[in-house]
Amino acid sequence: MACGVSPVIKKEVEEELRSFLGAEGISTDEMDLVTYGYDATRKSYSPCAVVWPVETAQVARIFRIASREGIPVYPRGSGSGMTGGALPVSGGTVLALERMNRILDIDTANRTVTAQPGIFLGDLKKAVQEKGLFYPPDPSSAKVASVGGTLAESSGGLNCVKYGTTKDYVQAVEAVLPDGEIIRLGSKSRKSVSGYNLLQLLIGSEGTLAVITEATLRLVPYPEHRCTFLSGFGCIKDAGKAVLDILNGPVVPSALEFMDRMSLECVGAYMGRGQIAPCEAVLLVEADGFEPDAVLRDAETMEEICRRDGAETVQPATEPEDRESLWEIRRNLSPSMYQKAPFKFNEDISVPVAEFPAVLQEVYQIGAKHGVLVICFGHAGDGNIHVNFMSHTESDPAVHRAIEETFRLAIARGGTLSGEHGIGITKSEFLPLEWGEREIELMRNIKRVFDPQNILNPGKIFPGKERGTT
């Protein structure tokens, strides 16, 4: 733990917080501490208190108190993170942002939406769609992921191949620094080269530099027409070739997803549908746009590529309910895998798209080498592979060796440790595999500038023997 930082909240400090947050704005109840002490990693740490602000001024006041008292503060959205980014590893208090959940403005003229961080991404997407607008970032957890969490991780999702990731859509933020100062970065203007790009520094920083309390996000016109199909292949190699040929073809898909045989078996059983497709791999492909005939032609072009590359089946989704049914398969993949083992280590390596087929094959070889069941799916269109190592224990040395070897493989092929899940605590020990000592020290120095006391989400991203160190 950083020098001068206390995980304990004194009684008088608790009362001070209660004085402006209200009786329901702070809790030290054991059930609340347990509830807000875990996330999707299934790891658990106990905070000393949970606070629920409803406005930026309250967040600022919380931080002024935390800074004065040296109390660690852990910002939390909905707890859907996959790397422990919101876990209170050093005690202190969890800053739960779920009550800051309003859409403040939908500006149809400038095509922006301004919202608080606690709103569910799915609710925001639905609200702007009613205005004929589209917010493209679409992780599988969109129904439960908070907007603030997606900004902290620069989430990607299903539409990345055509539309990009969260960082491409953030135009402005209001944020609170660890000392309680409120800052505003960016604007509704689409262009700016005025000084350093501090705005982008915050996006993907995993809540370690500042807490975003308001965000203005860029929107695009909603593509009214979609064509979707599921293409089944007898071998993974053929599916990988089809991915490359589609990406090198004349059509940019709005989604290009890969699922292997084992993932299809899991999700089929989970949804009570049996084997989804009797094949080794499938590609879930979608075209979108504004002219129905053009969208249909684009889909047919990609279907033809799949058939040419060895697709054994092509299942079009001709009706909206059929399309939604296919996407429900994709969204249920991750939870379905717990049927195979009680512990799932979901790593999200990302590699150049040209390396996708070869890396995928090598990942399976790594699993076989270490005797670990590996299940893969992912965003094939941008080289993002979700490699799931299944285990019957929480700390299997064979799994750890397989994960490290997979990370080394990804980096050797020009890729990265994480495409969209961040580093958090689960990947921090591996950060030196990707970054040199000088680069990591530069990152640490940036953290010190923003948070010299190390009270904001300490213990995340950087490797260190002790949680809470930078």
pLDDT at 28 over 80: yes
- Do 133 and 151 fall within a single domain? yes
> Which CATH number goes with the domain that contains 348?
3.30.70.2740
Q: What is the CATH number of the domain that holds 266?
A: 3.30.70.2190
Could you tell me if residue 135 is inside a domain? yes
Percent of the chain scoring above 70 in pLDDT: 97
Q: 392-445, pLDDT tens digit by residue?
A: 998 999 999 999 999 999 999 999 999 999 999 999 999 999 999 999 999 999
The answer to whether residue 427 is domain-embedded is no
- Does residue 110 share a domain with residue 133? yes
Indicate whether 150 belongs to any domain: yes
What is the model's pLDDT at position 2? 44
Question: Average pLDDT for residues 118-137, to the nearest whole number?
Answer: 98
Considering the domain architecture, whether residues 205 and 141 belong to the same structural domain is answered as yes
- Contacts (Cβ under 8 Å, ≥6 apart) of 220: 111, 133, 134, 136, 163
Residues 281 and 390 in one domain: no
Model confidence at 448: pLDDT above 60: yes
Q: What does the pLDDT read at residue 190? A: 86
Confidence at residue 45, expressed as pLDDT on a 0 to 100 scale? 95
Listed residues 221, 256, 271: the one ending a domain: 221
With respect to residue 262, please indicate whether it lies within any of the assigned structural domains.
Answer: yes
Same domain, 195 and 229: no
Q: How many domains does the chain have?
A: 3
Mark whether 316 and 236 lie in a shared domain: yes
> In terms of domains, do 329 and 239 share one?
yes
140-151 mean pLDDT: 93
Percentage with pLDDT > 90 across the chain? 90
Average pLDDT value for residue range 355-367: 96
Average pLDDT, the chain: 94
Residue 164 is part of a domain; what is its CATH number? 3.30.465.10
Q: Residue 164 domain-assigned?
A: yes
How confident is residue 3, by pLDDT bands cut at 50, 70 and 90? Answer: very low
| Same domain assignment for residues 213 and 233 | no
Look up the domain containing 304 and give its range: 225-333
Same domain, 262 and 205: no
Domain contains 56 = no
Residue 208 sits in the same domain as residue 311: no
3-state secondary structure the chain: CCCCCCCCCCHHHHHHHHHHHCHHHEECCHHHHHHCCECCCCCECCCCEEECCCCHHHHHHHHHHHHHHCCCEEEECCCCCCCCCCCCCCCCEEEECCCCCCEEEEECCCCEEEECCCCEHHHHHHHHHCCCEECCCECCCCCCCEHHHHHHHCCCECCHHHHCCHHHHEEEEEEECCCCCEEEEECCCCCCCCCCCHHHHHCCCCCCCCEEEEEEEECEECCCEEEEEEEEECCHHHHHHHHHHHHCCCCCCCEEEEEEHHHHHHHHHHCCCCCCCCCCEEEEEEEEECCHHHHHHHHHHHHHHHHHCCEEEEEEECCHHHHHHHHHHHHCHHHHHHHCCCEEEEEEEECCHHHHHHHHHHHHHHHHHHCCEEEEEEEHHHCEEEEEEEECCCCCHHHHHHHHHHHHHHHHCCCECCCCCCCCCCCHHHHHHHCCHHHHHHHHHHHHHHCCCCCECCCCCCCCCCCCCC
Residue 6 pLDDT grade (very low, low, confident, very high; cuts 50, 70, 90): low
Asked if residue 317 belongs to a domain, the reply is yes
Is 74 within a domain?
no
Question: What is the average pLDDT across 177-205?
Answer: 95
Confidence of residue 1 (pLDDT cuts 50, 70, 90): very low
Q: Answer with the one of 282, 308, 333 that is the final residue of a domain.
A: 333
Mean pLDDT of 145-168: 95
- Indicate whether 290 and 364 sit together in one domain: no
Please give the pLDDT value at position 370: 98
Query: Domain ends where: 333, 357, 383?
Result: 333
Interval 447-468 mean pLDDT: 88
Q: Write out pLDDT tens, residues 33-88.
A: 999 999 988 899 999 999 999 999 999 999 999 999 999 999 999 999 999 999 99
- Both 311 and 350 in a single domain? no
pLDDT at residue 466 is higher than 90? no
